[in-house]
Structure 1
Amino acid sequence: MFYEDLTEYRYRAEDEFTDRESGFFGLSYRPAYTRLNVGWLEAGRPYPVGPVPAGFVEKLKAVQAVQWMNVCLGTHECDLCPVEETGRPEGNGEVRVPGPPGIAYAAPFLITHYITAHGYRPPQVFVDAVLAVDLDTWAAARWPDVPFPWVPEDAERMEE
């Protein structure tokens, strides 16, 4: 699936978090913030390449380790990797990173692979947003809290 960087995300109307420890609890809501696409790459479409700051990929991976967002049953293989290659990386979810007030960045879970294996260079605003995440607070979040600061009080919670 290709979406140009920093265009408005419209793939899903709601955002849905799944509890990473149980896998059974979740919450969903219609976001009040604008979601902007980052890193939705596709073979045959150009994308920016270049280095990222030291520590950026590690921090992004740490965010992904604590946030389960819009996880799907099916998977999406990296179509930038050669077809002959066995075991192409797969993704089945997304990540949300808060930006300036009212903006959240929406990236596929494969974004770290795109950066490390294919040289993708995300927009600087996304890089800055990832580096600004308070990872200690996010990693400490336990159900019913989730690792994202803008979940509305009226979010629908699935408890079973």
Structure 2
Amino acid sequence: MPVFYEDLSEYDYQAEDAFTDRESGFYELWYRPTYTRLNVGWLEAGRPYSTGAVPAAFVEKLEAVREVQWMNVCLGVHECDLCPAEGAPEGNGEVRIPGPPGIAYAAPALITHYVTAHGYRPPQVFIDAVLAVDLDAWAAARWPDVPFPWVPQDAERMLE
């Protein structure tokens, strides 16, 4: 089922943000964000989207972030409907990238695919935000820490 949102529109798909521990796949923390979430990269066949070149470093870092951050992972999957039906890649989560104070960008897990396979060019503010991520710190985060800097201290945690 396609999910389309205009770039930089306010995210309202889920009221809470939830991070899953990437090593156990079970432990989770969730909270109602106090920051504004802006959509980036929620594409759908038949809807126009921005295209163009992006820096190679952006693609590499975005994919690395996607691999270490398990955000809003769902039981179902979302297939890329820009690809032919057979063999279309699937995603089942999201990515959060911190932007300026009070703003986080919300992107689907398939965003790297959209950039590399379909020529999607995200807004420059998102590209800049991804390039600013301290990937070493995010990759080193181990449960109960998560790879995103704005998780409140009172976030609920499922530890068992």
Q: Would you say same fold, with TM above 0.5?
A: yes
Structure 2 residues not aligned, in runs of 5+: none
1:49 aligns with 2:51: yes
Correspondence for 1:101: 101
Structure 1 residues not aligned, in runs of 5+: none
1:28 aligns with 2:30: yes
Correspondence for 2:157: 157
Q: Secondary structure at the match of 2:112?
A: helix
- Mapping of residues 78-89 of structure 1, within 5 Å: 78-83=80-85, 86-89=86-89
1:73 aligns with 2:75: yes
Separation in structure 2 between the aligned mates of residue 134 and residue 115 of structure 1, nearest angstrom: 21
1:138 aligns with 2:138: yes
Percent identical pairs in the alignment equals: 83
TM-score when normalising by structure 1 = 0.98
Correspondence for 1:124: 124
Q: Secondary structure at the match of 1:59?
A: helix
Separation in structure 2 between the aligned mates of residue 122 and residue 129 of structure 1, nearest angstrom: 11
Separation in structure 2 between the aligned mates of residue 42 and residue 155 of structure 1, nearest angstrom: 33
Separation in structure 1 between the aligned mates of residue 79 and residue 8 of structure 2, nearest angstrom: 23
Correspondence for 1:3: 5
Structure 1 runs of 4+ aligned residues shifted over 4 Å read none
The alpha-carbon deviation at position 52 of structure 1 amounts to 0.3
Letter in 2 for 1:89: P
The alpha-carbon deviation at position 69 of structure 1 amounts to 0.2
Correspondence for 2:18: 16
Provide Cα deviations, 1:116-155, integer angstroms capped at 9, x if missing partner: 0000000000000000000000000000000000000100
TM-score when normalising by structure 2 = 0.98
The RMSD of aligned alpha carbons is: 0.6
Q: Secondary structure at the match of 2:97?
A: strand
Letter in 2 for 1:116: T
The alpha-carbon deviation at position 54 of structure 1 amounts to 2.4
Letter in 2 for 1:112: T
Number of residue-to-residue matches in the alignment: 158
The alpha-carbon deviation at position 112 of structure 1 amounts to 0.5
Correspondence for 2:60: 58
Provide Cα deviations, 1:14-36, integer angstroms capped at 9, x if missing partner: 00000000011110000000000
